[in-house]
Amino acid sequence: MNETDPVVSVRDLRKTYGKVVGLDGVSLEIHRGETFAMLGPNGAGKSTTIEILEGYRDRTGGEAKVLGVDPQTGGIDWKARLGIVLQNTGESGDVTVTEQLTHFAGYYENPRNVQEVIEAVGLTEKAKARIAKLSGGQRRRVDVALGIIGRPRLLFLDEPTTGFDPEARRQFWGLIESLKAEGTTILLTTHYLDEAAHLADRAAVINHGKIVALGKIDEIGGKDARVPLVKWRASGEAKQQRTQKPAELVAKLQKEFGGEPEGLEVIRPSLEDIYLELVGVNSHSVANEDASNLVEVSI
Amino acid sequence: MSNSTVTATGTATESGIPHIDSIVRTLKLGFSRIGYELKLYFRQGDSVFFSFLFPILMLAVFAVAFSSAGNIGTRPDGTGGITFAAYYLPGMVAAGMLLSGVQNLGVDIAGEKGNGTLKRLAGSPLPVISYFIGKIGMVLVSAVFQAILLLLVARIAFNVELPTDPNKWWLFAWVFLLGVITSCVLGIALSALPRSGKSATAVVIPIVLLLQFISGVYLQFSMLPDWLQNFASIFPLKWMAQGMRAVFLPDSFKAVEQTGTWDLGWVAIVMLIWFVVGLLLCKLTFRWIRKDT
């Protein structure tokens, strides 16, 4: 594998469970040092995709390479370069945080320092506590710590911050940013669109086993989806208009009203708005216009 | 997940991924797993209580229950008899060997499958063989402690005379070692049977309980009907118990064995066969995870 080869490369990935289609031709590439987010509703195929790439599931069709290796045949050497944070874990946890990390560090050639990792995930005060005694969010941080202890080239994070409070989430983002800065390639699935917007360089929105949008975080969904929305009130009635030139419209409004328009807002659709539009259109086959109305209402 | 543990895949090396997988690493991680497993084992109170102390409690129950029944196996001239505690000791040693391996690992591994431990290990660079070494090592260490405790209790609390002949202790050593390791591979193989961690005890316990009743652990083997004796002889526990009787009972007791001898050759052969069968079953049925479930 060359420096420039994609870390993950997937072409026309298919997965069927009997007659049920789980993945219907997914293609994507993740490059070195990139943080890539997979977004989509429950059951859309995010976890199926990530578990195929982790080697937990076999694909029905298509091609997949992770670090240049087919994940279906990946051996010990291959696994030593991966970090996997699974969606849920429920181990008995009769070991302490330090013991667990020290033990797992022994699986890798060049592991991170155990104390530093514990500090990075914010568990220094719990280092000597048994994992069973930790809260859900704290156990999740142990999962993340186990995922990064081996200094992985590629880190899989499957809904890593589910159950975190806002402060813990911010802390976690800081940790991921420091991993990014070290050059770790990251594949992230999340339900939190702000998280994807904050952490990811690129994202794919997946729905019904297909990628419905793929691109840079600030370009995903296309230009039209990002047309800013201007809202104001005129004689008590709510008004709104989509425009590429919000400043022009605001200036016009100011002239019209001879001063500050009442309740003025300029809104640039967030990733979440765009995502809801993408997923909404595809999951309900609503006509485009109706869907954008829905989004406008939700704004 | 591939089960290849000792050899590296060619593709991995071609891809520029450093080659770290080796037999030395597999063994090293196996030994590190033994310590980790032992720590976990002795920290779960209930499992320690039931499987670790069980044979000791059972010996106490039998010894106390029959304490007024006098001796067993006494010759007409009044010599050669032993107490019920001494009579039950070999059976309890054998039961401990079976439970430490089959029941412990069968339930333990099924539980680890259910709670996600194995899924995490599947995604880590831990070889399957290292995991097995950890489990078997953990069982061996705990079984040795259990046997020592059992013998101490028998000696001190129930005044059972232990063998002084070194040959008997050599016999003890190989029957014990072969028996425990055979139990371990059978336990690992059996862990594939329960559909969930919760149903594991319900699947495993009836099997080991039944075996104990027909193999001369709780009931005197020579009192069982011939067909049941023959049926029990298919399974390894009967032979573990017989081997232990050869260690701990006076030689006069071999007269009531099926063939009138201790049949130590068969003790070794049957256990070895089950060891190989268990290994094959492990190879065939053990997976870190069941893909696509």
Last-in-domain residue among A216, A241, A270:
A216
Contact B183, B102 (CB under 8 A): yes
In chain A, residues with a C-beta closer than 8 Å to the C-beta of B123 are 54-56, 79, 82, 84, 86
Q: Which domain holds residue A244?
A: 224-298
The pLDDT of residue B188: 95
A102: closest CA of chain B, how far (Å): 10
Of B9, B14, B20, the CB nearest to A80: B20
Q: Which residues pair with A29 in a beta bridge?
A: A9
Instruction: Report whether pLDDT(A290) > 80.
Output: no
B53-56's contacts with Cβ under 8 Å and 24+ in sequence apart are: B54/B95, B54/B96, B54/B99, B55/B92, B55/B93, B55/B95, B55/B96, B55/B99, B55/B146, B55/B150, B56/B92, B56/B146, B56/B149, B56/B150, B56/B153
Instruction: Report whether pLDDT(A70) > 60.
Output: yes
Kindly list the distances between the CA atom of residue A179 and the CA atoms of A85, A97, A166, in Å, as whole numbers in the listed order. Answer: 14, 21, 20
Kindly tell me the number of DSSP H helices and DSSP E strands found in chain B: 13, 0
Chain-chain contact of A91 with B119 (C-beta, under 8 angstroms) = no
Same domain, A274 and A164: no
Number of structural domains (chain A) is: 2
Same domain, A184 and A259: no
Last-in-domain residue among A185, A216, A247:
A216
The residue count of chain B comes to 293
In the block, residue with structure tokens 């297909």: A210
Q: How much is the ipTM here?
A: 0.86
In chain B, residues with a C-beta closer than 8 Å to the C-beta of A91 are 112, 115-117, 120
Q: How many CB atoms lie within 10 A of CB B161?
A: 12
Same domain, A139 and A239: no
- Residue A33 is assigned to a structural domain of this protein: yes
Average pLDDT per block of 10 residues along chain B, 293 residues long: 43 66 95 95 77 89 85 77 90 95 92 90 95 97 95 94 94 97 96 85 90 91 92 95 94 86 93 96 90 61
Same domain, A20 and A68: yes
Instruction: Report whether pLDDT(A294) > 70.
Output: no
Same domain, A246 and A209: no
- Among B122, B134, B141, which Cα is nearest to B28's? B134
Q: What is the dihedral of CA A179, A181, A185, A186, to 10 degrees?
A: 50
Task: Provide, rounded to the nearest whole percent, the portion of chain A with pLDDT above 70.
Answer: 92
**Chain B nearest-CA residue for A152:** B124
Window 229-248 of A, Cβ < 8 Å to B: none
- Among A210, A161, A224, which Cα is nearest to A21's? A210
Same domain, A254 and A277: yes
Task: Provide, rounded to the nearest whole percent, the portion of chain A with pLDDT above 90.
Answer: 51
- Among A201, A195, A217, which Cα is nearest to A274's? A217
A83: closest CA of chain B, how far (Å): 8
Q: How far apart are the first and last CA of chain B?
A: 14
Same domain, A22 and A117: yes
Mean pLDDT score, A278-296: 44
Amino acid at B210: L
- Residue A105 is assigned to a structural domain of this protein: yes
Same domain, A115 and A246: no
Structure tokens at B293: 């479930």
Q: Which helix (H) or strand (E) holds A26?
A: strand A20-30
Same domain, A24 and A53: yes
Contact A161, A195 (CB under 8 A): yes
Last-in-domain residue among A154, A189, A216:
A216
Task: Give the model confidence (pLDDT) of A151-184 as tens digits.
Answer: 999 999 998 888 778 888 888 899 899 899 989 9
- Residue A89 is assigned to a structural domain of this protein: yes
Same domain, A44 and A73: yes
Find the range with the poorest average confidence among A86-90, A164-168, A252-256, B208-212: A86-90
Q: Report the half-sphere exposure of B94 (CA within 13 A, side-chain side).
A: 32
Same domain, A148 and A74: yes
B92: closest CA of chain A, how far (Å): 29
Q: Which residues pair with A28 in a beta bridge?
A: A10
- Residue A3 is assigned to a structural domain of this protein: no
Does residue A95 sit at the B interface (CB-CB below 8 Å)? Answer: yes
Same domain, A256 and A204: no
Find the range with the poorest average confidence among A85-89, A204-208, A271-275, B11-15: B11-15
A120-127's contacts with Cβ under 8 Å and 24+ in sequence apart are: A120/A145, A120/A148, A120/A175, A120/A178, A121/A145, A121/A172, A121/A175, A122/A168, A122/A171, A123/A97, A126/A97, A127/A96, A127/A97, A127/A98
- With vertex at residue B271, the alpha carbon angle to CA B40 and CA B93, rounded to the nearest 5 degrees, is 55
Q: Which helix (H) or strand (E) holds B27?
A: helix B23-43
The pLDDT of residue A95: 93
Contact B51, B100 (CB under 8 A): yes
Q: Domain residues of chain B, as ranges?
A: 32-285
Sign of CA dihedral A155, A161, A163, A165: positive
Chain-chain contact of A56 with B291 (C-beta, under 8 angstroms) = yes
A50-79: b (≥16 Cβ within 10 Å) or e: bbbbbbbbebeebebbbbbbebeebbbbbb
Q: How confident is the model at residue A1 (pLDDT cuts 50, 70, 90)?
A: low
Chain-chain contact of A99 with B39 (C-beta, under 8 angstroms) = yes
Rounded to the nearest 10 degrees, what angle do helices B166-190 and B236-248 cross at?
160
A110: closest CA of chain B, how far (Å): 11
Find the range with the poorest average confidence among A3-12, A23-32, B42-51, B125-134: B42-51
Chain-chain contact of A81 with B17 (C-beta, under 8 angstroms) = yes
Q: Checking DSSP bridges between strand A8-17 and strand A61-66, what pairing results, if any?
A: antiparallel
Instruction: Report whether pLDDT(A111) > 70.
Output: yes
Whichever domain contains A202, its CATH number is 3.40.50.300
What phi, psi does A204 have (nearest 5°)?
A: -125, 135
